[in-house]
Structure 1
Amino acid sequence: MGLIVLGIIIGLEGLNLLEYSLFVYVFSTIGLLYIIFIAGSELVLNEFKATKNKSIIFGFLTFSIPPALGIPVCHYFLGFDVNSRLLTATMFATHPLLSN
């Protein structure tokens, strides 16, 4: 979490100490893939199989409820256009690992 906050601070939207370049793009992509790999390697398939139904329901609810609430809020209260509503509302979904 600290690395993400530090990246925001020194990035383009913060102090602008780090310019956007191919170097930054490549290493940010590698970092993202590394995080996804680590999350996948920590998934225990036996535990996932034991709680398969609960995991499917939990995944469906955490994926569908935040956008279902976020789209009307972005439309009626914030006045966003269609693309902005969809993008903002889908960011509300947390997408946690479903193994627990």
Structure 2
Amino acid sequence: MEKLNERTIEERLDKMEGWVYKDGAIETSFQFADFREAFSKMTLIAFECEAQGHHPDWTNVYNNLTIRLNTHDANGITEKDFRLAHSIWQIIHEDSK
């Protein structure tokens, strides 16, 4: 996968709600009603990550989830990261449709 340049990354992020480019990764955070809801969404995201063969760096503290994406093999951000970010957004927001 080809590493994207910073300009392309920023242009793509302008169209994505809640994601930022920080320290070589694209990052977002979510807050849920409680730990159960956070963990439920993390489980759904985990299955999608496996399906895509791409895995985030993430942290969870009670009802807060922070997700960082980059492609380690490319040493930067690739289309793979944006594809997974889009899928994560869909999973997080699927109940609000």
The TM tier, using the shorter chain, reads 0.3 to 0.5
TM-score (norm 2): 0.33
Q: Decide which structure has greater strand share.
A: 2
Larger Rg: 1
